[in-house]
Amino acid sequence: MTQILSVIDVMKATEGYIRPMREGEEVLQCGLVIGVGIKERKGDELQVHALVMRTSGLRQTPYLVQVWVDLGKEYGERVIGEESRECECPAGLSEKCKHVVAVMLYLARSVANVSTYSFHFCCCCCI
87 lies in a domain? yes
118 lies in a domain? no
Q: Do residues 47 and 40 make contact, with C-beta atoms less than 8 angstroms apart?
A: yes
Tally of structural domains, the chain: 1
115 lies in a domain? no
Q: Which residue type occupies 2?
A: T
pLDDT digits 0-9 by tens, 20-71: 999 999 999 999 999 999 999 999 999 999 999 998 887 889 999 999 999 9
117 lies in a domain? no
65 lies in a domain? yes
27 lies in a domain? yes
pTM of the entire predicted model: 0.85
CA end-to-end span of the chain: 34
Residue 33 half-sphere exposure, CB side, CA atoms within 13 Å?
28
pLDDT digits 0-9 by tens, 68-81: 999 999 999 999 88
Give the strand pairing for 63-70 and 45-52: antiparallel
67 lies in a domain? yes
Give the strand pairing for 33-42 and 45-52: antiparallel
39 lies in a domain? yes
Q: Which domain holds residue 97?
A: 7-109
